[in-house]
Amino acid sequence: MLAAVRAEWFKLVRRRALWVTIGLMVALAVGIEYFLVYIVATHPPAGAARAGAQLSALRTGLYPDSVIKKSLANASGLVGIFALIVGVLAQGSEYSWATVKTTLVQLPGRISIVGGQLASLAALALIMTLSLFIADAMASYVIATIDGNSAAWPSVIDLLKGIGAAWLILYFLTVLGFGLATAFRQSAMAIGLGLAYVLVIENLVFGLLVNLGDTFKQIQEWFPIANAGYLQDSFGRASGAVAAAVAGPPPVDAAHAVIVLALWLVGVAAVSATLVRTRDVT
Amino acid sequence: MIATPETTDLDGSHTVVSVPARGATLVETHELSKQYSGGVLAVAGLSLTIRAGEVFGLLGPNGAGKTTFLRMLTGLIKPTSGTATVAGGSPGSPHSLAHVGAMIEAPAFWPYLSGRDNLRLLARYCRLPDTRVAAVLAEVAMTEHAHRPTGTYSTGMKQRLGVAAALLKDPALLILDEPTNGLDPQGMVEFRNLIKNLGTGDRTVLLSSHLLNEVEQICTRIGVIRRGKLVTEGTIDEIRGGTELIVRAQPADQARLVLEKTYGADHVSVRDGAFSLRVDMSQTATIAKSLVMSGIDVTELRPAERSLEDVFIELTGTEGGS
């Protein structure tokens, strides 16, 4: 499988569109979650509901000691959407360019090729995660400096845990995009359905069902988007534009969220591999 | 020297890749069929044998099932029934693919990569050194254009790069599906010469086409398929009916008697004022000698050849290719 990993990585790193997407992702994440929030916090619109302590919390939430919470909020929100798109592009383009057949008549075998793709995407998700944390850290440092505050950073252990959690969320979303592109053999449908699921479907369905009883709350605890949120919340809730306005502690702990996300990741990867292995390439 | 591709079988064990000897069976299919969902029977019980060293032409009208058959040989699609062995392995298995280079329909490449990088990418899949890339680019005369992104390539350049990609593994079996499709007349001539050269060594070439002229010029043996079935196979001469001799001789009555007496009445017929004699071509000199010895003047003695087009139309009916 090493040959397939090398080949897939060779292909990914030379694809400018992916790096542009990742660059745009980082720029938007920092621009919206840090600088736009900072502008709102420092120049509140007249008659704004938030005032006093709330604005102060919004502002201090941008400082370095909150960088993990902020980055995780980004990973579950805007950056996660980009991760999904990266996953779709990585596989959907293979179908639109018809390079699937070019690849499959080479040596490694179908499962090795999928393994190589998923391994490369894992590395790409790590790059996205690190880019996000570095950009967020730089932005928080700049804001703290502008405000004349000392930069108090989280501990290295917490930082590593946060990076691990963000990587898991982003990697799951990347693999979800990859899986949808594999299932539909194209990008457009995969992006459309992927976005609909991540942004609307799961939250909407369970938002309605939980009113019918606790059973549905317990079922929701086994779904991926909910668990991405629980994992994010286990590091504390971030203040900002994208942060969820939900009160109370998350219903499950971080370990549960990690296990559920990992299971979904493996499940989507296994279904993708099965589809690639068994389907005809026409 | 070309690095030999390594293969890993499904059980994880490494397999030593050996090249099939010339004349050995390289491709063997038995009652291979493919029915697509929707009920379309693209290939219907196709049995075929291709031996190492041949340049085999798969001839058939559009929609005859040629591409489906080749896709099955490369493992891109699975047969509904029947069996196939390609280079000693099941189609699409690492063991088989180690010996097979293929260009199925229009070659497809990553458009943002240069021609060279596309081949370097494929070489990585096969654990081949980058030096192999330079060699195959030179072989298809694409070195000069190798730095350009393939998204900017013309059809002819893509076809050449497709052949280069198929040659990367230095395969024992080269499968080319309609390789001159979309080329201008000059490009077709150049491409035909390229394929002829590729088939001159020990390499086996399996070429599909609906262009009779192309197949006639390149292939040593052909198979004609129609509606997914193999309707005939053999050498070009055999297919064209090279087992008939045309004889013109005077006096005709006397000549007919001699021929019928020697070869049997059922082997002799008259067409356009000449005798058509169904015998082995090696009998030509003997026939001439027996007629002359009987005092008959022989004015014409030659193999009867129908054009491949005639045969093709006859075999495929009104579906005849262009």
Tell me what pLDDT residue A81 has.
Answer: 93
Tell me what pLDDT residue A148 has.
Answer: 86
Distant-in-sequence, close-in-space partners of B282: CB < 8 Å, separation ≥ 6: none
Q: Where is pLDDT greater, at B8 or A13?
A: A13
Tell me what pLDDT residue B80 has.
Answer: 95
> In the predicted model, what is the mean pLDDT of chain A?
88
Containing B248, the helix (H) or strand (E) segment is strand B244-250
DSSP for residue B91: T
What ipTM was reported for this prediction?
A: 0.86
Mean pLDDT in residue range A123-140: 95
Q: Where is pLDDT greater, at B134 or A109?
A: B134
Least confident of A242-251, B49-58, B142-151, B206-215: A242-251
Tell me what pLDDT residue A192 has.
Answer: 96
Percentage of chain B beyond pLDDT 90 is 38
Residue B7 has pLDDT above 60, yes or no: no
List the single residue in B with minimal CA-CA distance to A103: B122
Mean pLDDT in residue range A45-73: 79
Confidence of residue B320 (pLDDT cuts 50, 70, 90): very low
DSSP for residue A223: S
Tell me what pLDDT residue B318 has.
Answer: 57
Contact B140, B167 (CB under 8 A): yes
DSSP line for B100-157 = EEEE-SS----TTSBHHHHHHHHHHHTT--HHHHHHHHHHTT-GGGTTSBGGG--HHH
Tell me what pLDDT residue A245 has.
Answer: 46
Tens of pLDDT, residues A147-171: 888 778 999 999 999 999 999 999 9
Name chain B contacts of A97, Cβ cutoff 8 Å.
108-111
SS3 call for B86: strand
Quick check: A101 and B108 CB within 8 A?
Answer: yes
Mean pLDDT in residue range A34-44: 87
Residue B184 has pLDDT above 90, yes or no: no
Site from A5, A107, A281 to mutate, B interface, most B CB atoms within 10 angstroms: A107
Closest CB to A107: pick one of B76, B97, B165.
B97
Tens of pLDDT, residues B68-113: 999 999 999 999 999 999 998 999 888 899 999 999 988 999 999 9
Mean pLDDT in residue range B9-31: 65
Mean pLDDT in residue range B164-179: 92
Indicate the length of chain A as a whole number. Answer: 282
DSSP for residue A233: H
In angstroms, what CA-CA distances link A258 with A118, A166, A174, B28? 19, 11, 16, 51
Tell me what pLDDT residue B11 has.
Answer: 36
Residue B269 has pLDDT above 90, yes or no: no
Q: Which stretches of chain B are DSSP H helices?
A: 66-73, 94-97, 115-125, 130-139, 155-167, 185-198, 212-218, 236-240, 252-263, 284-293, 308-316
Confidence of residue B1 (pLDDT cuts 50, 70, 90): very low
Nearest chain B Cα distance for residue A102, angstroms: 6
Closest CB to A101: pick one of B36, B104, B127.
B104
Q: Which of these, B174, B76, B32, lies nearest to A109 by C-alpha position?
A: B76
Tell me what pLDDT residue A251 has.
Answer: 80
By the 10 Å C-beta count (0-12 exposed, 13-18 middle, 19+ buried), A158 is classed as middle
Confidence of residue A43 (pLDDT cuts 50, 70, 90): confident
Residue found by looking up tokens 């449908």 in the block: A189
Distant-in-sequence, close-in-space partners of A171: CB < 8 Å, separation ≥ 6: A83, A121, A122, A125, A126, A265
Tell me what pLDDT residue B322 has.
Answer: 36
Tell me what pLDDT residue A252 has.
Answer: 83
Mean pLDDT in residue range B45-74: 91
Tell me what pLDDT residue A52 has.
Answer: 62
List beta partners, residue B276: B246, B269
Tell me what pLDDT residue A53 has.
Answer: 63
Site from A1, A13, A18, A102 to mutate, B interface, most B CB atoms within 10 angstroms: A102
